[in-house]
């Protein structure tokens, strides 16, 4: 059990980031204190539009260097589509960080709150998305974005699938399934993309042979969308290539209640970045309307990852307290507008902190820890 305080980065980002990231910091501090853990040594670093103005880069080299010395970090959403050129056409900040640190597993849970506006409130699944290659061209090259136009009327994007990348994300997904309900679904399109998506399916099935206690099935990506709509509660862990995983996780978040409650971490064996699955919502920025749940739960996932990596029971306990506090607040009638409530960002955060402070942890086993 680690006794030292964690050194965590804070990257506020754009839009609602400066509202939901500090909310998450407050909740993490409260959860660690309630678990009897050492307080976090927080390091705020420049990123996004403000970093362009002050440092001439959306992700300054000094930020990337500082991240390398930290145990993990919280990344707020960015609005790279609104950046001036040439920054708009460059790899966005989160993509640059993922590529630089080889954060190969994007873990995105979708778990309903049993109330509110959820289409499928009994949803409780996790999508493990391969994060370094696949059909997202910007993940597939050492330099450049992997997209190019030989003429003004022709655009080409590069898709890459490799056995090592598939094997490592498949093992991460199987390890996670072993800690949950021991069910794993492989999502692919091998019937049409027989070589690329076919390799993904075949390698995942090969990895499955090392996990005989895990029940395995597979579905084509188009069929998977239908199955999620009709019977989301039947699924536990899904593993998919980059773009398929991204699309499915947004859909699953909405089924569970709202994209505003959809958390994620981007992780490797020794790095972890908490990042909400949603965007920067510039239309409501600065108005106190943002739902901080996704960012708060993402921060809890980071605590869970730290607890697993360092054998730190207190960090793992704090992670449970974060999720329990959020659920207690929502089930107690406190929520933001997207979930049908009236609470502001700060009011909801206050409610979560209060419940963490007053309630003992339920001791639920972490549902999202991956590595080590």
Active site residues: 136, 189, 222, 246, 250
What does the block give as tokens for 130?
A: 């391969």
Distance, first Cα to last Cα, the chain? 15
What does the block give as tokens for 348?
A: 């909801």
Q: Where are the beta strands (DSSP E) in the chain?
A: 7-11, 41-44, 72-75, 105-111, 124-130, 147-151, 154-157, 183-188, 215-220, 237-240, 265-267, 272-275
The number of helices, as runs of H, and strands, as runs of E, in the chain is 11, 12
SS3 content of the chain, % helix, strand, coil (to 5): 45, 15, 40
Residue 2 CB partners (closer than 8 Å, separation 6+): 310, 311, 312, 315
User: Which residue from 74, 90, 93 is spatially nearest to 11, judged by alpha carbons?
Assistant: 74
**Strands 124-130 and 237-240: what pairing?**
parallel
Residue 244 CA neighbour count, 13 Å, CB half: 26
Cα angle vertex 310, ends 309, 315, to 5°?
A: 95
């Amino acid at each position: 059990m680690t006794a030292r305080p964690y050194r965590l980065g804070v990257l506020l980002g754009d839009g609602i980031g400066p509202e939901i990231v500090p909310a998450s910091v407050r909740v993490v501090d409260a959860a660690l204190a309630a678990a009897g853990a050492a307080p976090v040594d927080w390091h705020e670093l420049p990123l996004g539009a403000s970093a362009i103005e002050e440092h001439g880069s959306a992700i300054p080299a000094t930020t990337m260097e500082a991240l390398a010395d930290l145990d993990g970090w919280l990344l707020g959403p960015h609005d790279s589509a609104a950046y001036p050129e040439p920054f708009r056409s460059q790899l966005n900040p989160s993509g640059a960080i993922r590529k630089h640190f080889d954060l190969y597993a994007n873990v995105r849970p979708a778990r309903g709150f049993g109330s509110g506006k959820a289409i499928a409130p009994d949803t409780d699944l996790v999508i493990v998305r391969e994060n370094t290659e696949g059909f997202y061209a910007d993940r597939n090259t050492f330099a450049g974005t992997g997209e190019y136009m030989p003429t003004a009327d022709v655009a080409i994007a590069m898709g890459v699938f490799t056995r090592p990348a598939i094997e490592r994300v498949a093992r991460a997904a199987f390890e996670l399934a072993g800690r949950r309900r021991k069910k794993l679904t492989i999502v692919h399109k091998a019937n049409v993309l027989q070589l690329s998506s076919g390799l993904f399916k075949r390698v995942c099935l090969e990895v499955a042979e090392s996990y005989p206690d895990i029940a395995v099935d597979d579905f084509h990506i188009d069929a998977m969308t239908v199955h999620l709509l009709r019977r989301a509660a039947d699924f536990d862990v899904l593993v998919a290539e980059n773009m398929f995983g991204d699309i499915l996780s947004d859909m699953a978040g909405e089924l569970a209640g709202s994209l505003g409650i959809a958390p994620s971490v981007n992780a490797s064996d020794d790095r972890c970045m908490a990042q909400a699955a949603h965007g920067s919502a510039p239309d409501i920025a600065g108005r106190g309307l943002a739902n901080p749940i996704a960012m708060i739960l993402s921060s809890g996932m980071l605590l869970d990852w730290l607890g697993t990596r360092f054998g730190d029971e207190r960090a793992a306990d704090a992670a449970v307290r974060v999720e329990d506090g959020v659920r207690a607040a929502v089930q107690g009638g406190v929520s933001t507008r997207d979930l049908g409530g009236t609470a502001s960002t700060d009011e909801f955060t206050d409610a979560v902190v209060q419940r963490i402070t007053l309630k003992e942890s339920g001791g639920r086993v972490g549902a999202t820890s991956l590595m080590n």
